[in-house]
Amino acid sequence: MRLRIGSAALLGLLMSVVSALAQTNSGIDKLYILNCGEGVAGDISRWSPGVDVGKSMPMAENCYLMHHAQGWLLWDTGITDAIAALPNGQAPSDPRAIHWYRPKTLAAELHAVGVKPSDVKYLAISHTHPDHIGNVEMFPEATLLVQKAEYEWPNPLGVGRFKPEHPVKKLEGDYDVFGDGTVTIISTPGHTPGHQSLLVKLPKAGAVVLSGDAVHFKSNWDNRRVPSINADKEQTVTSMQRIADALAKEKAQLWINHDKAQRDTLKMSPDFYE
């Protein structure tokens, strides 16, 4: 009899552990894709040397806002909100690059889903090209999650890539943000020295890898093409393989940040993925 009571108690304890684990595993419950810019590339062979020379193409720029039981995380901040006020957008100095427009500000998009900049706990940044860090200082209290190699990458202007007073966690490799495996930064250097991508495991939609600029559009992914502007060609190829391995292991989808054709197939905020 005593043994039975003991078993029941043990079973109860096990049940509560299992339920706690289940809760931890579904720590992330929402992911919004925010329109963080729209553009037209003058010549997409910048990203595929010798291929599609002179071809122009629409480009997207996304930010991804996700809610976890431990707080909000924003992945990338897009082109600066200031571009929204320019009726003709921002023309690039190199006509082969991207002419950017901002149909909506990031501030307005956050407001539309009831999130204040001060609600954002983590600001994870794929890399420090201007179209990804345009609004970092809208979130002065959010902790930056950036690779040390990117943070310390010398800037041609001789200034830091982020304000020195901005809270930061400098990473050296992969990083499990919430400690439960639901949101994991994957180190994917090559496009820039400390470039990173993000693996997100959603309870219903399943696993997704957010590319950053590890690749710019699907045909370049399918053919493993390395843009001429990348910091390191060999690292880029290795990083693309790391992403391919993660996709296979996690049965994940690859969401390519700049791929407008793919974005057109996805649900945009205020709709969301669970």
Contacts with Zn ion, residue ranges (CB under 5 A): 129, 213
Minimum gap (Å) between residue 127 Cβ and Zn ion? 6
Minimum gap (Å) between residue 72 Cβ and Zn ion? 24
Closer Cβ to Zn ion, 6 or 130, answer by number: 130
Closer Cβ to Zn ion, 68 or 132, answer by number: 132
Closer Cβ to Zn ion, 73 or 215, answer by number: 215
Minimum gap (Å) between residue 229 Cβ and Zn ion? 8
The residue of the chain with the least Cβ separation from Zn ion equals: 129
Tokens describing residue 245: 């391995």
Closer Cβ to Zn ion, 117 or 227, answer by number: 227
Closer Cβ to Zn ion, 129 or 169, answer by number: 129
Minimum gap (Å) between residue 193 Cβ and Zn ion? 12
Minimum gap (Å) between residue 65 Cβ and Zn ion? 20
